[in-house]
Amino acid sequence: MRALTRPAIAVAAATAIVALTGGAAFAAQTQSEVTATSLSAMSENARKTLHDAREAVGAATKTTTEAEASGLDLGGADTKVDTSALRDEIERLSTLDVLPVFLLTDVVAETRAETARVGHETFLVHSALATAQARKAAEEAAARAAAEAAARAAAEAAAQAAANTPEGAKATARQMASDRYGWGDGQFSCLESLWNRESSWNYQAYNAGSGATGIPQALPGSKMASAGSDWQSNATTQIAWGLDYISRAYGTPCGAWGHSQATNWY
């Protein structure tokens, strides 16, 4: 037989008063209906509390597993949520059908409080894990970006080194002469002969006597700055300046080569 809670006692008292005033049959019916309704509501509340508690344990277990498996530094936060006390409350509340009525309210309240505690600790661990994961992702992204930048720089350096060789410089000059000035193989043949004589297509060539510098032997070398600030280290910049100079001064590479053959300079 279930023990009566305070609300049930109050209902019983009210019923007794009604009975004393002549409504015994009505009071008995009212007591039965109210008591049944009250017990039904309490049972439903207990079942919901039990469901929420089990959900909290599941979430805590999942979060703990993820935090421990991550191997990340959570900044001092505990990676484990202690659910032992809540599991005990779940065990007590699971005996709903045999639990005395006068204990039900207290057990529900205690289970709710423990569920809230576990939920809060789970939130803290989850937040710390999310922060650690975001930090790791940012560090990995930064490392990838640095590696990609280093790879690009290495590729650019390799390409520049190849372009600075005599053969690389000739290939650049042939393409640039065709694209920018419409000069074909005949003109390039004159250009090749001209700059073979001047510098052997060496971007570091320097005439100590005159100060002429680079593949086109600009005099002074600083003139080539008009084609780019890297004129001292970039054969392509020197070629761009040299082709422009030939176009303006002689019209074509063959015109410059003819002058060079006649005067030994251009």
Q: Which of 263, 230, 264, 256 lies closest to 177 in space, CA to CA?
A: 256
Q: What is the CA radius of gyration of the chain?
A: 46
pTM more than 0.75: no
The angle subtended at Cα 84 by Cα 109 and Cα 48, nearest 5°, is 35
Provide the residue-wise pLDDT of the chain in tens; the chain has 266 residues: 334 333 333 334 333 333 434 444 434 444 454 455 677 888 889 999 999 999 999 999 999 999 999 999 998 878 899 999 999 999 998 886 666 766 888 999 999 999 999 999 999 999 999 999 999 999 999 999 999 999 999 999 999 999 999 999 999 999 999 999 999 999 999 999 999 999 999 999 999 999 999 999 999 999 999 999 999 999 999 999 999 999 999 999 999 999 999 999 99
Cα gap 234→214, rounded to integer Å = 9
- Cβ contacts of 181 within 8 Å, gap of 6 or more: 187, 243, 247
Instruction: Give pLDDT, residue 97.
Output: 67
Instruction: Give pLDDT, residue 35.
Output: 55
**Tell me, what amino acid is at 171?**
A
Q: Which of 202, 235, 232 lies closest to 220 in space, CA to CA?
A: 232
For the chain, the maximum distance between any two Cα atoms, rounded to a whole number of angstroms, is: 143
Cα gap 115→124, rounded to integer Å = 14
Task: Locate the domains of the chain by residue range.
Answer: 46-156, 168-263
Q: Which of 117, 89, 116, 82 lies closest to 103 in space, CA to CA?
A: 89
Identify any residues that bridge with 218 across adjacent strands, giving them in sequence order.
Answer: 213
CA distances for 265 relative to 53, 217, 249, angstroms: 95, 10, 13
The verdict on whether omega for the bond into residue 220 sits within 30 degrees of 0, i.e. cis, is yes
- Cβ contacts of 207 within 8 Å, gap of 6 or more: 213, 217
- Cβ contacts of 169 within 8 Å, gap of 6 or more: 163, 201, 203, 215, 235, 236, 239
> Would you say 13 and 35 are in contact if contact means Cβ atoms under 8 Å apart?
no
